[in-house]
């Protein structure tokens, strides 16, 4: 075995080693799994050593992003569906994501692999159905490509302030080996997929002299997972484990507890007791004198 390859594999194994799962998960994964839709971006707070490196570089808790493509039968393009079916040997009803991973390249995974992680959904607002299909097709074509470790180093260089890193070095970022067709990272691949249908994430906005606004596509290799979170063109969907919505406000509404049923606001009645005809009552009438249905009545 080539010693450099062996050292590289050992380094990757060390970097990708994950810490233990928290006893108190941050989100309700079952509800999130029900809500997620094809072309949603899944943000993940990773638990590995490389995740800590990415947190430092990006100054964000979100260290990984994946593109949700739905279940196998959700993929409309027949060629794409057959390709995914050939590569994924799990249950055809599994919810699937595409993600570039260090040491594995761009792969198909089940959404369930993040069942115990802190995650959230970023949904592209108003993405057309045919463009959603094109985004999925774009991502599927990237399956098998290697993870670009060098790009992480470039992002680290880019994070340095100008005082520490000469501007000429910053302007030369990504010029060498740029656009290699066999390497990618998670956020770059997803950003490129949306860019292919001209869907904005964080475009560069210029206002011309006549007051018109013009958008320019941002270098997709500069995108990091947090950009989907901060983009004004993506909606944020999150289900905390103990959410305030679980208080079910509708249960606190001032419902009548006397069994009154109304046809409209002027015609209310108490259903008949023991087979008797319904008893009509007037609006605001005291109904305490009427008999109540027993627990066994229909």
Task: With respect to residue 116, please indicate whether it lies within any of the assigned structural domains.
Answer: yes
Burial of residue 110 (CB within 10 Å: 0-12, 13-18, 19+) is: middle
Q: Do 51 and 181 have their domain in common? A: yes
Segment (H or E) for 65: strand 64-70
Q: Do 158 and 126 have their domain in common? A: yes
Q: Do 230 and 273 have their domain in common? A: no
Dihedral (Cα; 104, 106, 110, 116), 10-degree rounding: 60
Note down pLDDT in tens along the chain; length 298 residues. 666 565 556 555 655 556 666 666 678 899 999 999 999 999 998 766 666 776 777 778 888 899 999 999 999 999 999 999 999 999 999 999 999 887 678 899 999 999 988 899 999 999 999 999 999 999 999 898 876 655 555 555 555 554 444 545 444 444 444 444 445 567 889 999 999 999 999 999 888 888 888 888 988 888 889 999 999 999 999 887 766 666 666 777 787 777 788 877 777 877 775 554 555 555 555 555 555 544 445 4
Question: In 3D, which of 42, 61, 38, 232 has the Cα closest to residue 122?
Answer: 42
Task: With respect to residue 1, please indicate whether it lies within any of the assigned structural domains.
Answer: no
Task: With respect to residue 3, please indicate whether it lies within any of the assigned structural domains.
Answer: no
Segment (H or E) for 158: helix 149-159
Task: With respect to residue 75, please indicate whether it lies within any of the assigned structural domains.
Answer: yes
Q: Do 188 and 262 have their domain in common? A: no
Segment (H or E) for 135: helix 129-141
Give me the pLDDT at residue 144, please. Answer: 82
Task: With respect to residue 192, please indicate whether it lies within any of the assigned structural domains.
Answer: yes
Q: Do 100 and 156 have their domain in common? A: yes
Q: Do 106 and 217 have their domain in common? A: yes
Characterize 244-274 residue by residue with b for buried, 16 or more Cβ atoms within 10 angstroms of its Cβ, and e for exposed: eeeeeeeeeeeeeeeeeeeeeeeebbbeebe
User: Taking a C-beta distance cutoff of 8 angstroms, is the pair 20, 100 a contact?
Assistant: no
Give the predicted TM-score (pTM) of the model. Answer: 0.69
Q: Do 41 and 164 have their domain in common? A: yes
Tokens 């990757």: give the residue.
12
Give me the pLDDT at residue 108, please. Answer: 94
Q: Do 130 and 162 have their domain in common? A: yes
Q: Do 231 and 262 have their domain in common? A: no
Q: Do 189 and 262 have their domain in common? A: no
Task: With respect to residue 293, please indicate whether it lies within any of the assigned structural domains.
Answer: no
Structural domain that includes position 113: 11-247
Give me the pLDDT at residue 156, please. Answer: 53
Give me the pLDDT at residue 33, please. Answer: 94
DSSP state of 73: G
Question: In 3D, which of 102, 104, 103 has the Cα closest to residue 87?
Answer: 104
Q: Domain count for the chain, please give it.
A: 2
Q: Do 175 and 45 have their domain in common? A: yes
Question: Rounded to whole angstroms, how far apart are CA atoms 70 and 92?
Answer: 10
């Amino acid at each position: 075995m080539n010693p450099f390859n062996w050292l590289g594999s050992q380094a990757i194994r060390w970097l990708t080693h994950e810490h233990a799962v928290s006893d108190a998960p941050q989100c309700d994964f079952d509800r999130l799994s029900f809500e997620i839709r094809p072309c949603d971006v899944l943000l993940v707070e990773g638990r590995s050593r490389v995740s800590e490196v990415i947190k430092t570089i990006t100054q964000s808790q979100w260290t990984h992003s994946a593109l949700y493509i739905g279940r196998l039968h959700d993929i409309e393009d027949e060629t794409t569906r057959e390709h995914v079916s050939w590569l994924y040997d799990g249950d055809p009803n599994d919810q699937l994501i595409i993600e570039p991973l260090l040491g594995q390249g761009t792969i198909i995974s089940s959404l369930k692999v993040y069942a115990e992680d802190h995650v959230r959904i970023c949904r592209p607002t108003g993405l057309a159905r045919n463009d959603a299909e094109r985004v999925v097709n774009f991502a599927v074509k990237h399956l098998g490509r290697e993870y670009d470790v060098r790009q992480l180093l470039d992002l680290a260089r880019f994070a340095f302030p100008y005082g520490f890193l000469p501007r000429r070095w910053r302007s030369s970022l990504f010029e060498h080996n740029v656009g290699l067709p066999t390497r990618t990272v998670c956020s770059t691949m997803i950003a490129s997929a949306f860019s292919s249908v001209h869907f904005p994430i964080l475009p560069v906005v210029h206002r011309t002299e006549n007051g018109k606004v013009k958008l320019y596509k941002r270098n997709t290799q500069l995108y990091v997972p947090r950009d989907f979170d901060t983009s004004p063109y993506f909606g944020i969907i999150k289900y905390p484990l103990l959410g305030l919505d679980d208080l079910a406000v509708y249960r606190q509404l001032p419902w009548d507890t006397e069994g009154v049923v109304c046809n409209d606001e002027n015609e209310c009645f108490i259903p008949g007791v023991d087979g008797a005809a319904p008893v009509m009552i007037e609006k605001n009438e005291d109904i305490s004198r009427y008999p109540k249905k027993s627990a066994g009545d229909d």
